[in-house]
Amino acid sequence: MRKFRLLTFMTAALMVAAPVLSSINAQEGETLKIGLLTDHTGALSFYGFEQTQGFQLGLEYATEGTMEVAGRPLEVVTRDNAGDTDTGIADARELIENEGVEVLVGTVSSTVTLSLVESAKEYETVLFAGPAAAPQVTGPNFNEFVFRACRNSFQDANTVATYSVENYGANYVQLAPDSAFGTGSAAAFDIAAAGAGGTPVRDTILVAADTTDFTSAITEVLDSGADFVYVTWAGASGVTLFNQLGDLGVKDAMGVMTGFNSNSIQSALQTNREGDTGLIVYHYTLPDTEANDFLVERHMEEFGTPPDLFAECGFATAQALVAGLEATEGSTLPEDLIPALEGLTFEGPKGTYTIRAEDHQALVPMYVVELTDAEPEEGTFAYYTLLAEVSPEEGAPPCLAPGRSSETLECPPAP
């Protein structure tokens, strides 16, 4: 197990403390602790439980039920940061320094995850970003210790941009939360829409993530004169937002394109309307894979419901981590684990996943769906019919990691 100790250097006027890595080889039989940073309380707790449940089942699947890798038992140590950056940073520090955690996974909030990127670099510890979709994580804020087995907002945008312009018109307006996730997602959609012939009629309408009354923002949407609005949102407040979009007549005035939400949130919306179309990151009814069959069956057995939106992300993250550890024979040292993960390809719930060596971003299948059953049988959440599966290559985001260009992929120059 990787161990840290605090070295204190004192002068007459100054004391400096810093964590230092003690490099020892992983021993067979030594427990490997994984730090899972997530949200089990707060506005994003829906997604945190999805991630946690998927990660648990992904470890089970990837280890064939043994919960061991290279003879090392796996132990997951979970911390709830409730979407708070300071808590997330403190949790990462405590897990590494006090709990002996060797790998970090998380979290749901893009803002918190961007801070954890720096923690991973400080402690030279591999971090798997979770559902947090801000492109900055594997883009401008890239460092070699961070990987993502889940999609980012560029993949969302690439999935729906062409469909939106072809079906609604070229002129659009965006509505998004005023957060790292919201601004990153909006920028990604602008780039994707431009490639499809779309034109924004005004700047993105940014709204505080804790907003409870969206009337003012929705009025701006209606006054924009756009052919369609692209809505980016996350969390339980999306229920209020989409209900107000319906109540104020936005769907009657223009096209509405968005991402379909978690089953638990979608079922609470009063605006589910048969014929609505949009992207979805994952829905348990869509993939036809061995991994998804396992995920659905075990999720029903363990939790009593089908896997939800980000269970796939947690599951795939666990698969990638186990595959990397198998390649390193249980070593979590960065010089071993980083090259094992770069370029990794595996078969996950949605099909073939590839972690690009250049920016450590996974390329994954994505979906465009139509809501064909607004009130499915209770407990099934079987809302959708698949319109299109977008291949990992078709939905691939640009490489935004500075100085990481290769012979096959161009990235921005190093600063």
| pLDDT tens profile 298-311 | 999 999 999 999 99
Are 104 and 160 contained in the same domain?
no
Are 108 and 256 contained in the same domain?
no
Q: Which of 15-19, 67-71, 209-213 has the lowest average pLDDT? A: 15-19
Question: The pTM is what?
Answer: 0.86
Q: How far apart are CA 127 and CA 147, in angstroms?
A: 6
Instruction: Decide if 292 contacts 364 (C-beta within 8 A).
Output: no
Is 14 within the bounds of a domain?
Answer: yes
Q: How far apart are CA 302 and CA 353, in angstroms?
A: 25
Bridge partners of 8, per DSSP, are: 17
Q: pLDDT digits over 89-144, tens only? A: 999 999 999 999 999 999 999 999 999 999 999 999 999 999 999 999 999 999 99
Among the listed residues 92, 178, 108, 104, the one whose alpha carbon sits nearest the alpha carbon of residue 150: 108
Provide the residue range defining the domain that includes 201.
154-280+366-390
**CA angle in degrees (0–180, nearest 5) for 293-277-227:** 155
Among the listed residues 321, 45, 306, 279, the one whose alpha carbon sits nearest the alpha carbon of residue 161: 279
Are 193 and 125 contained in the same domain?
no
Amino acid at the residue 139: G
Are 88 and 128 contained in the same domain?
yes
Q: How far apart are CA 126 and CA 241, in angstroms?
A: 36
**Average pLDDT of the residues in 198-215:** 96
Bridge partners of 40, per DSSP, are: none
3-state secondary structure of 253: helix
Instruction: Decide if 229 contacts 175 (C-beta within 8 A).
Output: yes
Q: pLDDT digits over 344-394, tens only? A: 999 999 999 999 999 999 999 999 999 999 989 988 999 999 998 999 999
Are 186 and 145 contained in the same domain?
no
Q: How far apart are CA 206 and CA 14, in angstroms?
A: 45
Which tokens sit at 192?
């994707």
Is 99 within the bounds of a domain?
Answer: yes
Instruction: Decide if 333 contacts 2 (C-beta within 8 A).
Output: yes
Q: How far apart are CA 152 and CA 299, in angstroms?
A: 24
pLDDT at 271: 67
Is 395 within the bounds of a domain?
Answer: no
Are 86 and 165 contained in the same domain?
no
- Is the pLDDT reported for residue 317 higher than 80? yes
pLDDT band at 23 (very low <50, low <70, confident <90, very high): very low
Q: How far apart are CA 7 and CA 141, in angstroms?
A: 28
3-state secondary structure of 112: helix
pLDDT at 15: 36
**Of the ranges 116-125, 232-241, 263-272, which is most confident?**
116-125
Are 311 and 205 contained in the same domain?
no
CA 331 to each of CA 145, 259, 338: distance values in angstroms, whole numbers, following the listed order: 14, 38, 11
- What is the domain-level CATH number for residue 260? 3.40.50.2300
Are 33 and 11 contained in the same domain?
yes
Residue whose structure tokens are 């936005």 = 250
Among the listed residues 312, 305, 275, 263, the one whose alpha carbon sits nearest the alpha carbon of residue 291: 312
Find how far residue 237's CA is from the centre of its chain. 18
Chosen domain end from 361, 382, 399:
361
Are 56 and 119 contained in the same domain?
yes
Q: How far apart are CA 132 and CA 134, in angstroms?
A: 6
Is 305 within the bounds of a domain?
Answer: yes
Domain count for the chain: 2
Q: What is the DSSP string of 75-95?
A: EEEEEE-TT-HHHHHHHHHHH
Is 403 within the bounds of a domain?
Answer: no
Mean pLDDT of the chain: 91
Using DSSP bridges, classify how beta strands 171-177 and 366-371 pair: parallel, antiparallel or unpaired: unpaired
Are 292 and 182 contained in the same domain?
no
